[in-house]
Amino acid sequence: MTTLASEGATALPDAATGIAHPAIAIHNVTKRFGDSIAVDDIDLQLAQGEFFALLGPSGCGKTTTLRMVGGFELPSLGNIYLDGRDVTMLPPYKRDVNTVFQSYALFPHLTVFDNVAFGLKRRKVPTGEIREKVERHLEMVGLAGYGKRRPLQLSGGQQQRVALARALVNEPKVLLLDEPMGALDAKIRKSMQLELKRIQREVGITFLYVTHDQNEAMSMADRLAVMNFGRTEDIGTPDRVYDRPATRFVAEFLGTCNVIAPETNGGVLRLPNGTGLEVDGVDGRLPEGASIGIRPEKLVVTRADVAGPVATTNAVRGTVVTATYLGASTEYDVRAPWGGILKAFAQNLADSSRARPGEDVVLTWDAAHAFVLAPSPEPTPLSAEKAEEQAAGVGGTSAQASGAGS
């Protein structure tokens, strides 16, 4: 076990976290479906008790990864370790892992109680203990007294809670959640997020949560991995991945991002119009194909008529193209001197400071808020093809697409 853990630690791209005894270790795992590659050489380690989110667009391989951990798909290459034990070839019913399925998959012929008790009965837990555990878990998810009902008599949110209780009651080493909130409406989703996080803290079980919703991932996860074309492009805490994304894809998937291709002549970074550009941790040289990213809310918008002289670094004077008033904030599209559009989100502190379309503004930012974006790795031709196919099919057959390989 110790050898395994240390071996895993060296292979971990996010080695800084130094996980000693990972709850799950996914080791160089690749999954092919026929000619297409759904998961492309993934390395992941989840710490004990961690809430980990796998985030990515439909068809990126996140559900396939989860299904391999659950035992529903066999990896084409690589190994999966659960608490240090190699479970790669084990069938689902021999793994100490439980799943909350996307469509809940509650047994329609069983009552809520029997649904939750299903796993315990299969493991021959004594009847009295089953009763006690099932009732405790139904209470935990807020469904005390619902034991005698059938799943079809419950609302979507309630069914989801039953699915959660049914998985948690077995006290698995890891809980897998496959877009569990996909079918809920926005309001219930918000409150379920808070509750799920509370439950996770309460039971202390490691959660592997698959979602395509970046808000969901960021609000709940301790760490997250952003996947694209079957690969993990970035792994880290939500604030780190948001503030210092590794690639352009990650930056844009987690929120709006201004991407600027700087000029690097003379060992100094410059904006396309020649203004100096300072980025923390960059000494004037950028990797090939890299660009600079700045989040719109990090840009300070000042009307040109009150701004005074424009600074020589990290400042741009431009014209407002559109100003969208959102109550708490205003979103600006500003045309930069080099022709590109910069997005800026400004808090509505005082009416007098707001700019209207056609007016000139000065955008300034802190060197600490800009970051270097490595180019996204080129997708393997095969997996790119598959992703395109899926993206094309999303409109009509979304269920199928997400079921097969998202």
Partner 1 sequence: MTTMTVGTPVDKKRLGQTPLERQEGRFRRSLKRHSTPYLLGLVGIVWLLLLFVIPLISGLAVSLMTGNPEQGYTLTWNWSVYYDVFFNSGVSYGLFLWRALWYAAAATLVTIIIGFPMAYFIAFRVSQRWKNALLLLVALSFFVSFVIRTDMWAFVLSDQGPVLTVLRDLHLAGKDFHILGTSAAVIGGMAYNDLAFMVLPLYVALERIDPRLIEASADLYGNKTRTFTRVVLPLTRSGLFAGILLVFIDSAGDPVNASLLGGTHTYVIGQAIQDAYLTNQQYNVAAALSTVLMIVLGIILFVYARIAGTDNIEDLV
Q: How far is the CB of 154 from partner 1 (least distance, A)?
A: 16
Q: How far is the CB of 243 from partner 1 (least distance, A)?
A: 37
Binding pattern for the stretch 93-122 against partner 1, x by CB under 8 A and - elsewhere? x---xxx-x-x-xxxxxxx--x---xx--x
Q: Closer to partner 1 at the Cβ: 108 or 309?
A: 108
Q: Closer to partner 1 at the Cβ: 164 or 342?
A: 164
Query: Given candidates 8, 70, 75, 318, which one binds partner 1 under the rule CB under 8 A?
Result: 70
Question: Up-side HSE of residue 195: CA atoms within 13 Å toward CB?
Answer: 18
Q: Closer to partner 1 at the Cβ: 228 or 406?
A: 406
Query: Given candidates 11, 20, 86, 92, which one binds partner 1 under the rule CB under 8 A?
Result: 92
- Bridge partners for 212 per DSSP: none
18 binds partner 1 (CB under 8 A): no
Sheet with 97-100: list strands edge to edge: 97-100, 174-178, 206-211, 51-55, 223-228, 231-236
Task: Give helix then strand counts, H and E, for the chain.
Answer: 11, 18
Query: Given candidates 22, 61, 71, 296, which one binds partner 1 under the rule CB under 8 A?
Result: 71
Q: How far is the CB of 330 from partner 1 (least distance, A)?
A: 45
85 binds partner 1 (CB under 8 A): no
Q: How many residues bind partner 1 (CB under 8 A)?
A: 26
Question: Up-side HSE of residue 6: CA atoms within 13 Å toward CB?
Answer: 2
Reduced to 3 states (helix: H, G, I; strand: E, B; else coil), residue 346 is strand
Report d(CA 206, CA 208) in Å as an integer. 7
Distances 176 to 157, 173, 206 between C-alpha atoms, Å: 18, 10, 9
396 binds partner 1 (CB under 8 A): no
**Backbone dihedral angles phi then psi of residue 234, each to the nearest 5 degrees:** -160, 140
33 binds partner 1 (CB under 8 A): no
Report d(CA 291, CA 297) in Å as an integer. 19
Q: How far is the CB of 117 from partner 1 (least distance, A)?
A: 10
72 binds partner 1 (CB under 8 A): yes
Q: How far is the CB of 96 from partner 1 (least distance, A)?
A: 9
Q: Closer to partner 1 at the Cβ: 118 or 338?
A: 118
Extended beta strands in 56-134, E state: 77-82, 85-86, 97-100
Q: Closer to partner 1 at the Cβ: 175 or 277?
A: 175
Report d(CA 304, CA 371) in Å as an integer. 26
Report d(CA 159, CA 103) in Å as an integer. 9
Report d(CA 79, CA 106) in Å as an integer. 30
Sheet with 291-294: list strands edge to edge: 258-260, 291-294, 370-373
Residue 289 burial by Cβ neighbours in a 10 Å radius (0-12, 13-18, 19+):
exposed
Report d(CA 345, CA 125) in Å as an integer. 56
Q: Closer to partner 1 at the Cβ: 27 or 67?
A: 67
Q: Closer to partner 1 at the Cβ: 92 or 357?
A: 92
Binding pattern for the stretch 181-200 against partner 1, x by CB under 8 A and - elsewhere? --------------------
Q: How far is the CB of 178 from partner 1 (least distance, A)?
A: 10
Query: Given candidates 27, 62, 133, 166, which one binds partner 1 under the rule CB under 8 A?
Result: 166
Q: Closer to partner 1 at the Cβ: 110 or 394?
A: 110
Q: How far is the CB of 404 from partner 1 (least distance, A)?
A: 12
**Strands 258-260, 231-236: parallel, antiparallel or unpaired by DSSP?**
unpaired
Q: Closer to partner 1 at the Cβ: 93 or 327?
A: 93
Q: Which residues here bind partner 1, judged by CB under 8 A?
A: 70-72, 91-93, 97-99, 101, 103, 105-111, 114, 118-119, 122-123, 166-167, 170
